[in-house]
Amino acid sequence: MFSVEEGIKHLQSSGAKVTSQRVAIMKSLEGRTDHPSAEQLFIELKPEYPTLSIATVYSTTQLMAQASMIRILTIDKNKVNFDPNVQPHGHFMCRKCKRIVDLPMDVSALVKHGKKFDIDSIDAVEVFLYGFCSECGDL
Ligand SMILES: [Zn+2]
Ligand SMILES: [Zn+2]
């Protein structure tokens, strides 16, 4: 998990301008576990930052992903979702309510298995599982 202070340093070192809108985007992602989409962040921040554009949300999160502060998930074909947890883990998305849940992954077991296929190390895992959550299933 990143801290906003680290994020500001990352932006500065990559030559990007540190604006109050960019800081607000970082703050709203810090420590979150609900994998918000770009649109969701935009709607949340717009009342406080009326001049905020969706393009700023995309460009800021892009910079954050390049600095390994967040992961950009493509589990939902219609949008992107952001995850400040960059440790390897999988995701489950409910087809009905679209909630995205973290799933622990045993990367060491994958690496062990990967040795057989000439894989030396694994530092990122993209596992997307789809189905119905317990609230949406069995209706
Ligand atoms: Zn559901
Ligand atoms: Zn996650």
Q: What residue segments make up the domains of the chain, in order of their start? A: 4-83, 89-131
Determine the CATH number of domain 4-83: 1.10.10.10
Nearest listed ligand to the Cα of residue 133: 1
Ligand 2 centre from 90 Cα, in Å? 7
Per DSSP, the three-state class of 89 is strand
Helix (H) or strand (E) holding 71: strand 71-73
- Are the C-beta atoms of 128 and 91 separated by less than 8 Å? yes
**Is the confidence at residue 138, as pLDDT, over 80?**
no
**Is the confidence at residue 139, as pLDDT, over 70?**
no
Residue 25, CA distances (Å) to 42, 104, 123 in order: 9, 26, 26
Per-residue pLDDT of 42-78, as tens digits, reads 999 999 999 999 999 999 999 999 988 999 999 999 9
Instruction: Please check whether the two domains, 4-83 and 89-131, share a CATH topology.
Output: no
Ligand 1 centre from 86 Cα, in Å? 24
Ligand 2 centre from 8 Cα, in Å? 22
Q: Which residues surround ligand 2, an ion (CB under 5 A)?
A: 83, 85, 102
Type of residue at 11: L
Q: Which residues, listed in sequence order, are joined to residue 81 by a DSSP beta bridge?
A: 37, 73
Determine the CATH number of domain 89-131: 3.30.1490
